[in-house]
Amino acid sequence: MNDAFDSLKNNEKCVVLVTGASGYIALHCVQQLLENGYTVRGTVRSLQNSSKVSSLRDLKHSSERLELVEADLECPDHWPRAVEGCTYIMHIASPWPIVADERTIEIAKGGTLNVLKAAAQCCTIRKIVLTSSTAAINDGHRNDAQVFDENCWGNLDSKRIGNYSRSKIIAERAAWDFWKSLPEASRFQLTVLNPSFVVGPVLSDQRHGSAKIIKRMMDYHTFPAAPKVSLGMVDVRDVARAHIRAMECSNCNGERIMITATPSVWFSQLTTWLYDEFKNQGFLISRVRTPNWLAKFYAKVTCDPHFEAVKYRLGPKLHFDNSKSVQLLQMEYMPIRKSIIDMVYSMMDYGIIVRKQNLEKMKNGDCKIANCTNIDINESSKSY
């Protein structure tokens, strides 16, 4: 690790605020921050939500260095107290419904500005790492042969763009505009990370967006065929690692950095990986591919929110250039195949996916389950 990282990493007195701390990405960020010796203050909408609070309290070192506070993105008066005394902020909280509406845009933009405005009034804040999305980079454009990088912005004028992508574009632009409006000599530093579709092990029983999609793929009744959709994908552990490196790295101040493994992955590839790994465990996984016209017809006739959400993404394969993350954050990305398999096993551990057979019998040789991926069951569950 170079000097740009080391100069900040040794400050054990740093308090890092993580917004939406019980979320999929944020929970991994909190876990890795605690493992790296940081003190963490995490926000949740309600401390009375025992399932979300317990997933944070169960993390190693949480009893020593984790504080939880209530804060709602829609309540600006919650945030001055939340940011008080913190050195860094990871603003990760944002709505992520399968099918977004106008409220999604309002909450994403308003919540981001509420956090940034509170930070601007707090003299201890050095830097904010804001979580955006590759949706703010490529959505609304035809994929064709274009290679998307951090210089690209989603096209708000396109008919191919949905409200979730609009929310990410509008919220990120609002953050940059607000940050640039602050006096340069006294403003906090800002780095924006743009992860692609996030997969990998879960740390709670919460049904977040990508977990819902992978769960559906595990049953041909709920995912009868794969539409011709490719997505950039990234392991959630890499996303958390990128947040910490961006926080510690002075070379990425004022930068926008895409966080994604390459190449992008077809949905049909995901179902093939799942089929190969879980076919002998009683799961009926479809490997049928859906032509574009049928996917559009199915979405229209059934009003299926998952197919409705992907209709704008049908078409040529996506191409991303992740070299900036490799250069500035020294990222080395996990294989997505491993991420997907680890994700499903963790979802089984948390009861999101019900096991079809007894894993102990499989481990003893009654059924081979890991030949296709060479992933040992015990080994792949160590990070959950």
Q: Which helix (H) or strand (E) holds 17?
A: strand 15-18
d(CA 267, CA 208): 18
The gap between the terminal CA atoms of the chain, to the nearest Å, is 26
pLDDT band at 366 (very low <50, low <70, confident <90, very high): very low
User: What are 50's strand-pairing partners?
Assistant: none
207-217 in b/e form (b: 16+ CB < 10 A) is ebbbbebbbeb
d(CA 134, CA 94): 14
Q: Which one of the listed residues 52, 109, 127, 168 is annotated catalytic?
A: 168
- Say which residue, 107 or 2, is predicted with more confidence: 107
Asked if residue 4 has pLDDT above 70, the reply is no
Average pLDDT, the chain: 88
Q: pLDDT for 18-52, tens place per residue?
A: 999 999 999 999 999 999 999 999 999 999 999 89
Q: Is the pTM of this model over 0.75?
A: yes
Domains and CATH numbers, the chain: 1-206+233-261+319-333 (3.40.50.720)
d(CA 261, CA 302): 33
For residue 137, the model assigns a pLDDT of: 97
| Chain centroid to CA 338 | 16
Whose structure tokens read 């077809």?
Answer: 266
pLDDT band at 356 (very low <50, low <70, confident <90, very high): confident
* Residue 337, token pair as written in the block: 């195949």
Out of 11-15, 40-44, 284-288, which region has the weakest mean confidence (pLDDT)? Answer: 11-15
For residue 377, the model assigns a pLDDT of: 29
d(CA 208, CA 160): 24
Asked if residue 363 has pLDDT above 80, the reply is no
d(CA 353, CA 216): 10
For residue 292, the model assigns a pLDDT of: 80
For residue 161, the model assigns a pLDDT of: 87
* 168 among known catalytic residues: yes
Asked if residue 56 has pLDDT above 70, the reply is yes
For residue 223, the model assigns a pLDDT of: 92
